[in-house]
Amino acid sequence: MPTRPLTMHQIRESLRLAAAGLSQPQIARALKLSLGVVNKYLQAARAAGVSWPLPDHLGDRQLRELLFPDKHREVALEKIAPDFAVVHQELQRKGVTRHLLWEEYATQYPERHYSYTRFTELYRAYRRTLRLSMRQTHRAGEKLFVDYAGPTVEIISPETGQARAAQIFVAVLGASNYTFAEATWTQSLPDWIGSHARALAFIGGAPEIAVIDNLKSGVNLADRYEPILNRSYQEMLAHYGMAAVPARVGRPRDKAKVEFGVQLVERWILARLRHRQFFSLSELNQAIRVLLEDLNHRPFKKLPGSRRSQFEALDRPALKPLPESHYEYAEWLSPRRLPPDYHLEIDGHYYSAPYQLIDRRLDVRLTTSGVEIFHETRRVALHPRSDRRGAHTTNPEHMPHSHRLYRQEQTPETILKRAEQIGPATCELVQVILRTLPILAQSAPSCFGLLSLAGRYTPERLEAACRRALTCGAHSRRSVLAILQNQLDRLPPEDAEPVALPQHSNIRGADYYQQLLSSRGDNLDAYTTDFGTLTPDEVARHG
């Protein structure tokens, strides 16, 4: 580990402590110096005949001349200043320090270099000559600054002729100033995340940190100390192994790098496109990409190279490789409670979740192809995404046992199998109901209701009631229930008597029509011959 050059104050303290009787190890510990350095300066003092207390007139310059006459003569030689532009850029590399650069500089000019103290003073003076946006020291591969430009670009619809404003997304790497820009329709979450993914693909790697403005697409709650990021945005960053640091509200210097990058994009790209008309977003982005290439290859004014060359030298080697799998956009919805039917409504479609989580708050993650449901960070359901509004997607494992059993029985085969266990007449009546109501959602409840009568009246009575209902042409559960309630199923089929109609003034009977025909002198056979076989009502209508 290299040591920092000693000051004259430390030399004077070494002499004072030695005169006080302290050993060299004690002096080294007290002044936080190495034992060899302390020994070196005490020997130089003895060789020069200098002891403590020092004369009042002996200043630092005179003391240095006494102790180190040879090095003092080197001061008179003309010094060679380092190239501080190169020093400034080298400091942005990971692990490079000012002391390391000073050592390399001192090795290059062993007799004509500045001391480390003077080296740092001159470097600070150089930094003050740079732009304010260049004062921050950004480590290579560390930060990507992102923001939107203020001006927008109009895109004219070829079909309607109406103009729509496109937003300009800008991303700048901290160390090299390598810049990315593209146009999107909005600043909403899908466009915001999509622009990040395309920016990382453009630079071919992932930095450690994204420095962002407090845009709602990225930050749910802006806070100086503990900002809350949007969950979908945070998931995208995790996919690339990145973190996000929102700039403090009202502190533009926190994102000065991208502010300057936005300004460059406005001057060198948008200003040049101001007289052009664009008819699609892809056409605009193609024009931006051409001018962006020119911007990144344009030489710096005060630093050597260009954004592209500095990117290749600084940022590219320090960036993390991109993941092998392409990022799929996903959006997290606000938490919602699972209703009693254990189906969550998402974009008009209903997706099931385990019934045990009824009334619990669940998180929903939407992708272009699927729907994921989470409870306390654990995924509890995964469904393919559906655009059928009002329909249901149900996983049988999410259903209670009774519901699952009922659903398994909701097939014609299962219903007929249960009916066969009671008897052939019951099975035949069930088949009639299934043919009459071809939609299973209508016929299944009627069939189950019919079969449930076996529990109330015994299977034998139900079989007899179904046989009588088939004879009478009464093909419904209601008719079978009436037969059972009136115990008509107990009558043998051959003893069944016609049901007598009740007496009523509106019921005329067959005699009425015979009398009517006789009074008119008509012959019933004539009606049969002329009109075919007619009912008494038809005969009465024809008079």
Same domain, 304 and 423: no
Q: For residue 388, what pLDDT is reported?
A: 87
The answer to whether position 1 is within a domain reads no
List the structure tokens of 208: 């450690």
- Give me the residues paired with residue 180 across strands: 171
Same domain, 166 and 301: yes
Q: pLDDT tens across 100-135, in order?
A: 889 888 888 887 888 999 898 888 888 877 654 444
Q: For residue 520, what pLDDT is reported?
A: 47
Q: pLDDT tens across 403-420, in order?
A: 765 665 567 888 888 899
Same domain, 444 and 398: no
Same domain, 116 and 20: no
Same domain, 300 and 199: yes
CA distances to 62, 258, 495, 497 from 492, rounded to whole Å, are 140, 96, 5, 10
Same domain, 225 and 305: yes
The answer to whether position 173 is within a domain reads yes
Range 454-458 average pLDDT: 90
Q: pLDDT tens across 280-303, in order?
A: 999 999 999 999 998 899 888 777
The answer to whether position 503 is within a domain reads no
The answer to whether position 505 is within a domain reads no
Which range, of 21-25, 349-353, 449-453, 535-539, averages the lowest pLDDT?
Answer: 535-539
CA distances to 87, 146, 180, 403 from 202, rounded to whole Å, are 28, 14, 7, 53
Threshold 0.85, pTM exceeds: no
Task: Give the range of the structural domain holding residue 35, as residue numbers without chain letter.
Answer: 8-75
Same domain, 283 and 179: yes
Short-list 105, 131, 85, CA closest to 304: 85
Q: pLDDT tens across 344-383, in order?
A: 999 899 999 999 999 999 999 888 788 999 998 899 999 9
The answer to whether position 136 is within a domain reads no
List the structure tokens of 442: 């209508």
Sign of the dihedral defined by the CA atoms of residues 109, 113, 117, 121, in that order: negative
pLDDT at 220 over 80: no
> What is the rounded distance in angstroms from the CA atom of residue 305 to the CA atom of residue 290?
20
Range 490-505 average pLDDT: 57
Q: Which of 75, 97, 115 is the C-terminal boundary of a domain?
A: 75
Same domain, 418 and 491: yes
Q: For residue 97, what pLDDT is reported?
A: 85
| DSSP strand pairing (243-246 vs 349-352) | unpaired
The answer to whether position 2 is within a domain reads no
CB 152 within 8 Å of CB 205: no
Range 484-502 average pLDDT: 68
Which range, of 167-171, 441-445, 488-492, averages the lowest pLDDT?
Answer: 441-445
CA distances to 437, 463, 540 from 423, rounded to whole Å, are 21, 6, 45
Residue with tokens 């003050």: 128
pLDDT at 392 over 50: yes
> What is the rounded distance in angstroms from the CA atom of residue 420 to the CA atom of residue 418?
5
419 Cβ contact list (under 8 Å, min separation 6): 426, 427, 429, 430, 447, 451
Give the number of domains in the chain.
6
> What is the rounded distance in angstroms from the CA atom of residue 11 to the CA atom of residue 14?
5
The answer to whether position 67 is within a domain reads yes
Same domain, 444 and 481: yes
> What is the rounded distance in angstroms from the CA atom of residue 18 to the CA atom of residue 24?
7
Short-list 479, 537, 467, CA closest to 508: 537
Same domain, 281 and 359: no
pLDDT at 455 over 70: yes
Q: Which of 318, 340, 360 is the C-terminal boundary of a domain?
A: 318
> What is the rounded distance in angstroms from the CA atom of residue 261 to the CA atom of residue 240?
23
> What is the rounded distance in angstroms from the CA atom of residue 260 to the CA atom of residue 266?
10
Same domain, 147 and 296: yes
The answer to whether position 28 is within a domain reads yes
Q: Which of 56, 75, 94 is the C-terminal boundary of a domain?
A: 75
Short-list 321, 43, 31, 89, CA closest to 200: 321
Same domain, 153 and 91: no
